């Protein structure tokens, strides 16, 4: 018997990079040493003290609950570490009902949608952007209103560009700064406008803060919760993935508006039963050591950022250095007439290097390509020397 995919699954957009994946496989089959700079997944291992804490908690015979469901035996230490971190880092005070532990943001983004959207509702998603916001809408039988992020607005959402009819029906507005893929950053003033806008139009803002700690040149990213009254209309997804090299661990939190936090908690209680206790102890350790760990993590990306930007400059393809994220978002070289697909294919063909074409992130990403900084220096150096040769 062939099982039919659900309507939800059938409605998902095709995996963006399926065609590229096939071309990479073909190249490799021809014996080309392809270097893939497409994926944003930290190469450096999780810092030792976090791993040590995980082992300690797993083996802690004084904790009779250590093997049990996280939701029935919650780890206060993690919620407390989140609260302390938000206070130290942002001066934001979070009550106990304003924090819920997540399996990382991707999972929680979809689950929050399931907790607050009804069929026919609308969520507003800026594009180019992280595809999971739309996936959360599709799984909830809700619709997505895409609003473009434009270079002339520094890739900040233009609230006036949201169509009025969609706005009336919309329940949810996604933001993400520092932004993947555009690398744009937002200041507190932008978040103030966002909070005002959401209050006026009865929207929940969900700010995806995946890269809040991956910042450079002394820049630090604000939290939307620093805005007075933000917790009335906003939640923030914080994740340990990119900040602490912990993508595979699946740990983060949703903080802010208590009723939205509660909606996610209810979905989680009914689907996943919470995170392993040892994982939460390790996460608490990470957050408590944040000030020690971030400079080390970020020094690596800042060095690679400079390497990549300087090499692209040398190839005649200049790009501004981003203040945040683990990516370079660069305009497609002029001779490709703005076609990111044509550029990516040529780069693979002639240099054996894979970058992510911006068009994969909607037509509003066209004209750009993304390079991830999560590859060892030696790999990046090799890729950059091939790119430089091709550029000249």
The 1-20 site mask, x for binding ligand PLP (CB under 6 A), equals: --------------------
Residue 180 C-beta: closest distance to ligand PLP, Å: 4
Does 183 sit near ligand PLP (CB under 6 A)? no
Does 239 sit near ligand PLP (CB under 6 A)? yes
Among 106, 265, 285, 305, binds ligand PLP (CB under 6 A): 106
Does 241 sit near ligand PLP (CB under 6 A)? yes
Stretch that binds ligand PLP, among 54-62, 103-111, 140-148, 258-266 (CB under 6 A): 103-111
Residues between 127 and 146 that touch ligand PLP (CB under 6 A): 130
Residue 104 C-beta: closest distance to ligand PLP, Å: 3
Residues between 9 and 68 that touch ligand PLP (CB under 6 A): 40
Residue 392 C-beta: closest distance to ligand PLP, Å: 33
Nearer to ligand PLP, 180 or 336 (CB): 180
The 192-211 site mask, x for binding ligand PLP (CB under 6 A), equals: ----------------x-x-
Please tell me the count of residues contacting ligand PLP according to CB under 6 A: 14
Q: Show the 3-state SS of the chain.
A: CCCCCCHHHHHCCCCCCHHHHHHHHHHHHCCCCCEECCCCCCCCCCCHHHHHHHHHHHHCCCCCCCCCCCCCCCCHHHHHHHHHHHHHHHCCCCCHHHEEEECHHHHHHHHHHHHHCCCCCEEEEEECCCCHHHHHHHHCCCEEEEEECCHHHCCCCCHHHCCHHHHHHEEEEEECCCCCCCCCCCCHHHHHHHHHHHHHHCCEEEEECCCCCCECCCCCCCCHHHCCCHHHCEEEEEECCCCCCCHHHCCEEEEECHHHHHHHHHHHHHHCCCCCHHHHHHHHHHHHCHHHHHHHHHHHHHHHHHHHHHHHHHCCCCCCCCCECCEEEEECCHHHCCCHHHHHHHHHHHHCEECEEHHHHCHHHCCEEEEECCCCHHHHHHHHHHHHHHHC
Does 287 sit near ligand PLP (CB under 6 A)? no
Residue 356 C-beta: closest distance to ligand PLP, Å: 12
Among 36, 98, 101, 247, binds ligand PLP (CB under 6 A): 247
Stretch that binds ligand PLP, among 5-13, 47-55, 104-112, 137-145 (CB under 6 A): 104-112
Does 214 sit near ligand PLP (CB under 6 A)? no
Nearer to ligand PLP, 75 or 351 (CB): 75
Residues that bind ligand PLP (CB under 6 A): 40, 104-106, 130, 176, 180, 208, 210, 239, 241-242, 247, 252
């Amino acid at each position: 018997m062939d099982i039919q995919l659900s309507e939800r699954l059938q409605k998902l957009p095709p995996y963006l990079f399926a065609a590229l994946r096939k071309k990479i496989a073909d190249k490799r089959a021809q014996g080309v040493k392809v270097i893939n700079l497409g994926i944003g997944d930290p190469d450096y291992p999780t810092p030792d003290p976090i791993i040590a804490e995980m082992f300690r908690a797993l083996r802690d015979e004084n904790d009779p609950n250590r093997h049990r469901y996280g939701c029935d035996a919650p780890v206060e230490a993690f919620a407390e570490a989140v609260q302390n971190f938000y206070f130290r880092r942002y001066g934001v005070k979070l009550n106990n009902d304003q924090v819920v532990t997540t399996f990382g943001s991707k999972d929680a983004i979809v689950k929050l949608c399931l907790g607050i959207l009804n069929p026919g509702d609308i969520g507003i998603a800026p594009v180019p952007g992280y595809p999971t916001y739309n996936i959360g809408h599709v799984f909830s039988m809700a619709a997505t209103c895409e609003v473009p992020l434009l270079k002339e607005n520094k890739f900040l959402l233009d609230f006036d560009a949201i169509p009025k009819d969609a706005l009336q029906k919309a329940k949810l507005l996604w933001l993400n700064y520092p932004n993947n893929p555009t690398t744009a950053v937002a200041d507190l003033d932008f978040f103030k406008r966002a909070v005002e806008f959401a209050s006026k139009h009865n929207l929940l803002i969900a700010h995806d803060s995946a890269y809040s700690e991956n910042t450079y040149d002394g820049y630090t990213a604000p939290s939307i919760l620093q805005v007075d009254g933000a917790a009335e209309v906003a939640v923030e997804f914080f994740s340990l993935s990119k900040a602490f090299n912990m993508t595979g661990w699946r740990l983060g939190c949703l903080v802010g508006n208590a009723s939205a936090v509660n909606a996610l908690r209810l979905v989680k209680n009914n689907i996943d039963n919470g995170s392993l206790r040892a994982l939460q102890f390790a996460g608490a350790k990470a957050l408590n050591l944040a000030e020690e760990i971030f400079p080390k993590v970020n020094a690596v990306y800042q060095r690679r950022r400079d390497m990549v930007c300087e090499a692209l400059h040398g190839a005649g393809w200049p790009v501004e250095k981003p203040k945040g994220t683990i990516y370079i978002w660069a305009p497609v070289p002029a001779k490709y007439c703005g076609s990111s697909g044509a550029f990516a294919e040529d780069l693979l063909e002639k240099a054996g290097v894979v970058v992510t074409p911006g068009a994969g992130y909607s037509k509003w990403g066209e004209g750009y390509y993304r390079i991830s900084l999560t590859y060892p220096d030696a790999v990046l150096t090799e890729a950059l020397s091939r790119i430089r040769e091709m550029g000249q």
